[in-house]
C-alpha cells in the first residue's frame, strides 16, 4: 500500500487526525523535508500512529514564552526545520516592516545540547535573507539578549532556550524592536508567516561571516550589560554570605559577574552545578527548575555547610531567580515563593527610595493577575502608579513599558513564577537583576540585626498576611490539550458558587474580559488583551482568589491561590491556620477540575 494511502487509512480508522495527516503529508512530499523522509516512512510502516499523531497534530504554537517543546520529528516538535521555519517567518516579517535598510537581529542561546545547532541554523537563515546577525560567542542569558536589542539598535532578537524545561526540550522565542517578546497581534502575524513559509533561504556560516552579515558579541558587550544593571543598585551594604548555582546554565555569565562587580565578595558557587551542560547532570531528575525545592537541594546543602545567609539559583537561561533564606532554627533554610521575593524587593525599593527622596508618583509598577496582591499593595502604599491585572507572562510587563511612554518611569515588575525586573534596561525578567536586589536587601537586613524572614514578617504586620501557592496537573499530548479545553469550558459555563466553604463572589473571565457577580451578571470589564484564564474571587476587594489556566509553554493546567487575612497579635498561629486552609482549598479545586472528563 502506498504511503499516502496508509496515511488516509489511519485517518479513517481514527488513528490519525486530519491535521496530523495534512502536516505529515507535507513532510513526506515537500523537498525541504527530504532528510526526515526515511525515518517517517519507517514509522508509518511500523504503524506508529500514536507517535505520528503527537508529532504532527499541530504546528507547535507561540505560547506565553514563544515556542517550546520536546526535540524530535514533526511539526509539533522542536527540530532544525521548525526552528528554520520560525526564523524564516521572523525574516519575512522583518523584510516587510523594515524598509530601505538591512534589518539587524541579535541571536542568543542557552546551554542545552541542541541550542548551538539550532542557533547556527537561525543565524544562517537570517543571513540568507540579507539580515545582519549579532551572535554571542557562547551561551548567554535571555535578559542579556533583550538588553542588546536596544543597546545595538536592532530590529528583533531570537533566543534558543527552553527555560526550566527538562533536557529533552528546547525552544524558540522572538523579541521585537523594543527588546520585549512579541505580543498580540504580532505573535499571530508571525505564526501566519511561519505557516506560509514555502522556502527556507539560508547561506553557510562561512559565507555569512565573510560577507559581514554575522557579527560576534563578546566580553565588551557583556560589560555594557553588567554596567546597566549596576546602575540600579540601591545600597552599599555587602556583608552577606551567599550561595549561588546557575544549574548548569547561563547564570554563570550574568549573575556571577554582576555580584563580583557589585562588590559582593562572600559568594560561594555550587561547583557541581557550575559547568554549562544541557543534560543538567547534577540536578535532581535533570529538571533545572529553581521554583521547586529539589532545584535548590545542592545549594541548600552548601549553605548549611558554610552557614550562608541566602541561597540564589537561576534557571538555564537565567531569567528567573529562586531564593531560599536562613531559617529560625540553626541549619534550616526556607524556600521563598516568587510572591514573597517580589514583596521583599518592593518594600526594599520603596523604603530606600523614600529615604533618598527619589520616589515620584509617575513611577510605574506592574504585576500579573495570578500574582499575589501583596507586592502591588506595597507599591501603592509608596505612591507608585500600579497595574496588577496583566496577563500571565513577563512579555506583558515589557509591553506596558512600551505603552507608558517614558521608559525611565518604569520602576519594578514581577510575576509569581519567580520573575523580577527593576529598571527598563532589559524588557524581560532578569535573574541577575533580581539577584542584585535580593542580595542588597539581605545585606541591609543583616546590618539591622534582622534575618530576611524577620523582614518578611514585618511586611505582613504592616500590610496583612497574604498566603499563596500554585499547583499544576500535567495532561500530555493531544488528548491532554483537549481535556484542558473541556475543563476550562465547563468551569466557564457553570462556575462554582462556593469552593471548600468559600463563596465565589465574582468571576473574572479573561477570555472576554468580563467580571460577573455571583448571580452571573456582568458588573465590570477588564481592559487589555484576552486569554484562556478564569479567576474566582473569594472577596470583593480581590485580595483572595483562585485562578485557573492551561500553561502556554508546557502540557499542564495550572491553579493559583491567594488568601488574605488581617494580622493580629499571633502571626505564627495565623500562618499555620491559613496554610492549612490553603492546602484544603487547593485540594478541593484540583478535585473539582479533574472530575471534569
- Catalytic residue numbers, as ranges: 163
Secondary structure of 187-235 in HEC code, one letter for each residue: HHHHHHHHHCCCCCCCCCHHHHHHCCCEEEECHHHHHHHHHHHHCCCCC
Neighbours of 342 (CB within 10 A): 29
Joined together, the cell numbers standing for residue 109 give: 542561546
* Cβ–Cβ under 8 Å, residues 214 and 208: yes
Locus of grid cell 484542558? 484
Joined together, the cell numbers standing for residue 254 give: 550574568
Distance CA 10, CA 18 (A): 10
Find all residues with CB under 8 Å of 209, minimum gap 6, and list them: none
Joined together, the cell numbers standing for residue 562 give: 491567594
Strand 104-109 relative to strand 522-525, pairing? unpaired
CA distance readout (Å), 360 to 111, 356, 363, 387, 411: 41, 11, 6, 16, 10
163: left (phi over 0), alpha (psi -120 to 50) or beta: left
Residue 33: burial class (beta carbons within 10 Å; 0-12, 13-18, 19+): middle
| DSSP per residue, 300-353 | HHHHHHHT-SEEEEE-TTS--EEEEEE-SSTT-EEEPPHHHHHHHHHHHHHHHH
> 3-class DSSP state for residue 494?
coil
* Cβ–Cβ under 8 Å, residues 345 and 412: yes
Asked whether the bond before 516 is cis by omega within 30 degrees of 0, the reply is: no
Joined together, the cell numbers standing for residue 530 give: 484576552
Closest CA to 181 of 490, 550, 428: 428
Closest CA to 426 of 235, 231, 188, 290: 231
Q: What 8-state DSSP symbol labels residue 59?
A: P
Amino acid at each position: 500500500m502506498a504511503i499516502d494511502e496508509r496515511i488516509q487509512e489511519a485517518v479513517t480508522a481514527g488513528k490519525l487526525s486530519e491535521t496530523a495527516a495534512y502536516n505529515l503529508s507535507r513532510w513526506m512530499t515537500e523537498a525541504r523535508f527530504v532528510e526526515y523522509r526515511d525515518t517517517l516512512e519507517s514509522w508509518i510502516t511500523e504503524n506508529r500512529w500514536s507517535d505520528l499523531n503527537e508529532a504532527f497534530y499541530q504546528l507547535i504554537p507561540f505560547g506565553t514564552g514563544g515556542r517550546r517543546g520536546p526535540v524530535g520529528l514533526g511539526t509539533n516538535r522542536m527540530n532544525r526545520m521548525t526552528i528554520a521555519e520560525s526564523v524564516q517567518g521572523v525574516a519575512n516579517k522583518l523584510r516587510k516592516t523594515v524598509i530601505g535598510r538591512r534589518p539587524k537581529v541579535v541571536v542568543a542561546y542557552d546551554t542545552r545540547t541542541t541550542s548551538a545547532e539550532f542557533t547556527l541554523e537561525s543565524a544562517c537563515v537570517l543571513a540568507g535573507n540579507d539580515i545582519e546577525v549579532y551572535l554571542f560567542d557562547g551561551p548567554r542569558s535571555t535578559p542579556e539578549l533583550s538588553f542588546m536589542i536596544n543597546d545595538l539598535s536592532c530590529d528583533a532578537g531570537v533566543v534558543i532556550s527552553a527555560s526550566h524545561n527538562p533536557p529533552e526540550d528546547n525552544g524558540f522565542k522572538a523579541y521585537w524592536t523594543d527588546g520585549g517578546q512579541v505580543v498580540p497581534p504580532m505573535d499571530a502575524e508571525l505564526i501566519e508567516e511561519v505557516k506560509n513559509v514555502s522556502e527556507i533561504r539560508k547561506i553557510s556560516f562561512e559565507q555569512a561571516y565573510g560577507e559581514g552579515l554575522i557579527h560576534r558579541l563578546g566580553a565588551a558587550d557583556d560589560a555594557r550589560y553588567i554596567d546597566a544593571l549596576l546602575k540600579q543598585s540601591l545600597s552599599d551594604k555587602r556583608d552577606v554570605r551567599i550561595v549561588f548555582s546557575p544549574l548548569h546554565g547561563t547564570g554563570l555569565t550574568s549573575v556571577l559577574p554582576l555580584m563580583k562587580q557589585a562588590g559582593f565578595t562572600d559568594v560561594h558557587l555550587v561547583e557541581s552545578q557550575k559547568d554549562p551542560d544541557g543534560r543538567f547532570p547534577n540536578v535532581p531528575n535533570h529538571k533545572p527548575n529553581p521554583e521547586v525545592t529539589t532545584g535548590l537541594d545542592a545549594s541548600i546543602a552548601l549553605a548549611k555547610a558554610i552557614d550562608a545567609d541566602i541561597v540564589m539559583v537561576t534557571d538555564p537561561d537565567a531569567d528567573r531567580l529562586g531564593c531560599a533564606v536562613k531559617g529560625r532554627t540553626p541549619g534550616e533554610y526556607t524556600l521563598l515563593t516568587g510572591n514573597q521575593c517580589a514583596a521583599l524587593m518592593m518594600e526594599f525599593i520603596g523604603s530606600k527610595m523614600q529615604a533618598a527622596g527619589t520616589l515620584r508618583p509617575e513611577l510605574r509598577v506592574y504585576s500579573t493577575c495570578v500574582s499575589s496582591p501583596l507586592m502591588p499593595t506595597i507599591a501603592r502604599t509608596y505612591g507608585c502608579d500600579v497595574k496588577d491585572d496583566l496577563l500571565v507572562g513577563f512579555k506583558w510587563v515589557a509591553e506596558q513599558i512600551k505603552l507608558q511612554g517614558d521608559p525611565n518611569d518604569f520602576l519594578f515588575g514581577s510575576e509569581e513564577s519567580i520573575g523580577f525586573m527593576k529598571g527598563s534596561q532589559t524588557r524581560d525578567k532578569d535573574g541577575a537583576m533580581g539577584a542584585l536586589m535580593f542580595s542588597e536587601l539581605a545585606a541591609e537586613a543583616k546590618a539591622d540585626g534582622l534575618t530576611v524572614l524577620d523582614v518578611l514578617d514585618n511586611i505582613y504586620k504592616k500590610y496583612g498576611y497574604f498566603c499563596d501557592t500554585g499547583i499544576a496537573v500535567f495532561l500530555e499530548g493531544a488528548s491532554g490539550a483537549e481535556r484542558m479545553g473541556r475543563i476550562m469550558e465547563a468551569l466557564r459555563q457553570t462556575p462554582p458558587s462556593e469552593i471548600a466553604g468559600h463563596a465565589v463572589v465574582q468571576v473574572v473571565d479573561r477570555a472576554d474580559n468580563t467580571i460577573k457577580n455571583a448571580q452571573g451578571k456582568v458588573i465590570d470589564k477588564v481592559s487589555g488583551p484576552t486569554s484562556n484564564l478564569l479567576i474566582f474571587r473569594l472577596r470583593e476587594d480581590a485580595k483572595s482568589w483562585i485562578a485557573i489556566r492551561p500553561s502556554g509553554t508546557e502540557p499542564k493546567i495550572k491553579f493559583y491561590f491567594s488568601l488574605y487575612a488581617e494580622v493580629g497579635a499571633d502571626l505564627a498561629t495565623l500562618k499555620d491556620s491559613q496554610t492549612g486552609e490553603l492546602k484544603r482549598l487547593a485540594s478541593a479545586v484540583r478535585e473539582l477540575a479533574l472530575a471534569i472528563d
